[in-house]
Amino acid sequence: MNSVLATFTQKENLRFLQDFDVPLETLFNFFSVHENWGKIFPAAFKRIEFGEDPRDANSKGSVRRVIAFPLILEEKITQYIPNQLIEYRVISGVGLKNHVGTLNFIDLENGKSRLDYSIEFAPTIPMTGFVIKNIGEKIIGQAIRDAARQLRLNPRF
């Protein structure tokens, strides 16, 4: 029975690659500010704990609360390398376990950059991983495309 349950709660992976018509620093600065995520996702994002670096409130160790009714999650920044990498983990909430998001920022030169965003998670409720993955692909993919469009139109978005 345990092996059957493990099959229904297996790890899922999502990956998004998106090019942006803005310099690497602009791209990183947008995605590193917790509240900016609310500009592209149908959810509210709020920093509830400051990061370890007193010069950057959103750095490693910072925690954000995500409210996408009826879900409430908290995510903690576990790795943070300016203009290169942000990694976060979901530390509270229902429906997901072992959720890790990794954003790699790539300089394409000539004022262009790329976001390589991967997410892995396992569902806490058996047989929901496929559904969560498909919803995530749709919502997150659209949000990233919206960010690319908005930043192209207004790099200070």
The predicted-structure confidence for 92-126, as pLDDT tens digits, reads as follows 987 778 999 999 999 999 999 999 999 999 998 88
Residue 1, pLDDT score:
47
Tell me the average pLDDT across 9-21: 94
Full-model pTM: 0.91
The predicted-structure confidence for 79-90, as pLDDT tens digits, reads as follows 999 999 999 999
Residue 70, pLDDT score:
82
The predicted-structure confidence for 20-68, as pLDDT tens digits, reads as follows 999 999 999 999 999 999 999 999 999 999 999 999 999 999 999 999 8
Tell me the average pLDDT across 128-151: 95
Residue 78, C-beta contacts closer than 8 angstroms, at least 6 positions apart: 60, 87, 88, 89, 100
